[in-house]
Amino acid sequence: MKIIVDENNPYAEQAFSTLGEVTALPAGKITREALRDCEILACRSTIRVNADLLEGTAVRCVATATIGTDHFDTAYLDRAGILWYSAPGCNADSVADYFTAALLSVAQTQRATLEDKTLAVVGCGNVGSRVACRAQALGMRVLENDPPLARQTGDPRYRPLDELFDADCITLHTPLTREGPDPTHHLVNEAFLRRMRPGAVLINTSRGAVVDGGSLKAALHDGRIAGAVLDVWEGEPSPDPELAELAFLATPHVAGHSFDGKIAGTMQIYRQVCEYLGRKPTFDPEPLLPAPGVPEIVVDAAGRPDEDMIREVVFRVYPIHDDDARFREAMALPDAAARAAGFSALRTNYPRRREFSWTRVLARNAPPALLEKLRGLTFEAEHGRGESARKETSHEG
């Protein structure tokens, strides 16, 4: 059995080698010709999976190690009898880490604190639910909106969209849909933006076209909202450089690109393909995992506001402004083709980022409430015990 995997899926070659003959290729070389006698394709969202790619090939199963499937022509795959899989939730903690860093950065820029501010979460699935928990850990009031979940569960915590517009920040975590009862294409349009509270911030880590970029650009120009954090863009890999320049933070669709999220995606689709083949999964990535870049942080909380200390910890583990700076450099390139190539290169060559849960925080003089906040952000947190504690724990993680 021949299998082709995107080389940007960590450990995919090792995992799928337990099932057949594997070739790992960069996304740009996964073509119809390359797939001619291939039965299984394990890809990412950088590949359009449709008739143009698969017609005349031996492919009978396609799996994407990503949450979204809008790069799949699912109608064609179903008609052709090609099974398809995705990895919902695989990078939810990665996106939640990104959101946490972005939110803390916005508060710093505005010289504000997050305590008692209101966050509105639009889309409360795997990612949105984790984002809500992170915001609550930071002392924010959270409003949740998810019409499908509201219908399915009847839970009154899911509020109508009309009740969200007084929030200090609105964050988007929906799929991109154009049909059905809850279309999200250009959900955020001129009317939506006009209803947002002046001084509010919009965060989008879902899909670029959930936001009408032209309307957002006008709202930012006019100062109708305070700012935006944008990780996803209409027309990727060719974002609007003017919109990027206006954003508080602008990044190249990397919120979910943690190393751990990618591994989780690989393992999720590997297990699905094993089930399709009637095989038992035998690959375990655990022995191959590298040590985290920041296994431990020691801080002194004495006399410091909780949020300042949390911000220091978060930025040491994930310096989100580095992603922003690299992206702005790419957007400053002289022509559209160069900018598109730069956008794609930033995603393909993204630095290895580990999730917060791999870092232990030893906080001297920390009140219990601060430790609980750090744990709510998924850090392992405990009272610092001085130099001996650093020596005892520095090898772990």
Closest by CA position to 282, among listed 22, 21, 24, 14: 14
Question: How many alpha carbons fall within 13 Å on the CB side of residue 363?
Answer: 27
Using the CB atoms, write b or e for 326-345: b if 16+ within 10 Å.
bbbebbeeeeeeebbebbbe
Write the single-letter amino acid at 273.
V
CA dist list (Å): 316 to 133, 184, 204, 298: 21, 35, 23, 11
Q: Has 221 been annotated as catalytic? A: no
Q: Looking at 39, 144, 234, 236, which residue is catalytic?
A: 236
Q: Looking at 134, 207, 311, 354, which residue is catalytic?
A: 207
Q: Has 36 been annotated as catalytic? A: no
Helix extents (H) in 25-84: 51-54, 74-80
Q: Has 207 been annotated as catalytic? A: yes
Q: Cis (ω within 30 of 0) for the bond into 183?
A: no
Q: Looking at 44, 134, 253, 353, which residue is catalytic?
A: 253
Q: Which two tokens stand for residue 155?
A: 């839970």
Closest by CA position to 248, among listed 206, 201, 308, 207: 201
Furthest CA-CA distance within the chain:
68
Name the DSSP letter for residue 162: G
Residue 206: strand, helix, or coil: coil
Which residues make Cβ contacts (< 8 Å) with residue 272, sequence separation at least 6?
63, 85
Residues acting as catalytic residues: 207, 236, 253
